[in-house]
């Protein structure tokens, strides 16, 4: 007897298409697909709904402005309710990660409601020397390099440093990945100083002006060049500009680098003129409507491979939007609205195919980060992380109804169309009828292998 089966749904299997099939679950795994599955303890009728693999958000942050354990608990519940069943968390800092990771993983295993893996940012030669150890002890196979830093918080690293890091990633093999934040520091510095002189009280548009589009485009060229020379796999995080995405498309056509581009749901759905104002301050900044459209074109033609959120949770008290362009903190809680925002802007408004959208939200990040086919698909043997998606469901966003502790949303008062109805995590019904039915710690840390 099955523990769970999902019937009557339109089942999306990335790479294969949509099928009218039942999905059978036992011991946390998908064990059967077919027309007439055996009886199950619980049957979920997905009539009229899309059944998809749990989304994978490969790009989130936890514990930047608030306690890691607190955010690990509340924000992974927001993710879950939004149909995200696996997250990749970027960790940073100037210290060795070796003494920290064990206890962080213990926290993850006791607090998270989704499965979670780490990417480690590499800032120092000591950290670079330990990359192999991070893999051997903790199963970390992806590393991040910042071509530009955050003023007053941390500096970026040089091309020379990045090239050394890329060679180490290349030496780790095909399944190791270098993630890069692409913006040129010197172009930012000049623009930033000018904006600070002229409009220090600034708006979200001024904030965008302090981070010119060309700074992203230029840095993408350099990152691609360095990766070609070093021979590593490259993942460009949060591409936010039309210029950057277009340049990346040309590089990929002409070059032979194994390169992947990510954009985020915010860059695909909110522009710098939005009423939300400085609550949407972010690094890189939200851009213009031309960029939003340009990114969607690069989603459509498959230049961009995956969708993240770059979620940095916070509430209004931490955000301090009232402190103006310079005083407001960068980031926003966005996990629960990730899929609905992409479906609204891509599928409903622009007619981007559901297959394109869902593949970039599931199988692609799973493949890139070495989790496929355990994650990112609906297949016999895969983890039973399954979302029953109601594409037609409209919901007006009220941040107080979302699971994040954050008390604002980029979509406050806006209606998004396409929401998860049921989320199954590890074979259990985890989210249903607006409630969460698993305890913190039901998810776990994912060690990856090369
Ligand atoms: Zn980020």
- Domains belonging to the chain, first-starting first, are 54-368 (3.20.20.140)
**Phi then psi for 39, rounded to 5 degrees?**
-60, 155
Q: Tell how many helices (H) and how many strands (E) occur in the chain.
A: 15, 20
pTM of the model as a whole = 0.98
Q: Which residue shows structure tokens 């920290």?
A: 100
In this prediction, residues 15-30 reach a mean pLDDT of: 98
Mean pLDDT of 383-393: 98
Q: How far is the CA of 90 from the centre of ligand 1 (A)?
A: 7
Which pLDDT band, with edges at 50, 70 and 90, does 437 fall under? very high
Ligand 1 centre from 37 Cα, in Å?
42
How high is the pLDDT of residue 400? 98
Query: Ligand 1 centre and the CA of 42: distance in Å?
Result: 39
**pLDDT, mean of residues 64-80:** 98
Ligand 1 centroid – CA 22 distance (Å): 37
Residue by residue, DSSP assigns 53-120 as EPEEEEEEE-SSSS-HHHHHHHHHHHHHHTTEEEEEEEE--SS-SHHHHHHHHHHHHHH-SSEEEEEE
CA atoms within 13 A on the CB side of 91: 21
pLDDT, position 201: 85
Pairwise CA distance, residues 235 & 232, whole Å: 10
Expressed in angstroms and rounded, the spacing between residue 270 Cα and the centre of ligand 1 is 17
CA dihedral 123, 126, 127, 133 (to 10 degrees): 170
Distance 96 CA to ligand 1 centre (A): 20
Q: Are 311 and 75 in contact (CB under 8 A)?
A: yes
Ligand 1 centroid distance, CA of 285 (Å): 12
Give the model's confidence band at 158: pLDDT under 50 very low, under 70 low, under 90 confident, else very high. Answer: very high
């Amino acid at each position: 007897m099955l523990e769970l089966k999902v019937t009557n749904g339109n089942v999306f299997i990335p790479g294969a298409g949509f099928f009218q099939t039942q999905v059978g679950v036992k011991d946390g795994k998908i064990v059967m697909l077919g027309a007439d599955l055996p009886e199950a303890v619980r049957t979920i009728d997905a009539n009229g709904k899309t059944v998809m693999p749990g989304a994978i958000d490969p790009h989130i942050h936890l514990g930047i402005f608030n306690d890691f354990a607190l955010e690990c608990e509340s924000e992974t519940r927001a993710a879950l309710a939004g149909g995200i069943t696996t997250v990749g968390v970027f960790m940073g800092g100037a210290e060795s990660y070796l003494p920290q990771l064990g206890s962080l993983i213990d926290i993850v295993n006791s607090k998270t409601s989704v499965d979670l893996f780490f990417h480690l940012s590499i800032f120092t030669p000591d950290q670079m020397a330990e990359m192999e150890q991070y893999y051997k002890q903790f199963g970390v196979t992806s590393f991040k390099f910042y071509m530009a830093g955050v003023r007053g918080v941390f500096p970026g690293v040089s091309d020379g440093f990045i090239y050394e890091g890329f060679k180490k990633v290349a030496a780790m093999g095909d399944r190791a990945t270098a993630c890069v934040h692409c913006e040129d520091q010197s172009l930012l510095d000049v623009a930033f100083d000018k904006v600070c002189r002229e409009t220090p009280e600034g708006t979200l548009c001024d904030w965008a002006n302090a981070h010119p589009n060309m700074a992203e485009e230029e840095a993408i060229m350099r990152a691609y060049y360095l990766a070609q020379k070093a021979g590593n796999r490259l993942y460009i995080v949060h591409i936010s500009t039309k210029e950057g995405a277009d340049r990346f498309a040309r590089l990929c056509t002409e070059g032979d680098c194994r390169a992947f581009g990510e954009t985020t749901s915010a860059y695909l759905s909110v522009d710098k003129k939005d009423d939300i104002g400085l609550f949407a301050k972010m690094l890189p900044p939200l851009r213009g409507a031309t960029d939003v459209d340009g990114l969607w074109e690069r989603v459509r033609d498959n230049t961009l491979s995956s969708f993240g959120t770059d979620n940095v949770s916070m509430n209004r008290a931490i955000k301090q939007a009232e402190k103006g362009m310079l005083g407001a903190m960068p980031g926003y809680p966005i996990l629960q609205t990730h899929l609905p925002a992409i479906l609204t802007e891509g599928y409903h408004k622009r007619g981007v195919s559901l297959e394109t959208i869902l593949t970039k939200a599931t199988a692609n990040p799973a493949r890139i980060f070495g989790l496929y086919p355990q994650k990112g698909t609906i297949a016999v043997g895969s983890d039973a992380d399954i979302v029953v998606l109601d594409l037609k469901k409209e919901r007006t966003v009220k941040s107080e109804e979302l699971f994040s502790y954050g008390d604002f949303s980029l979509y406050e008062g806006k209606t998004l169309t396409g929401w998860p109805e049921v989320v199954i995590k590890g074979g259990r019904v985890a989210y249903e009828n607006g409630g969460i039915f698993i305890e913190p710690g039901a998810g776990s840390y994912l060690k990856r292998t090369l």
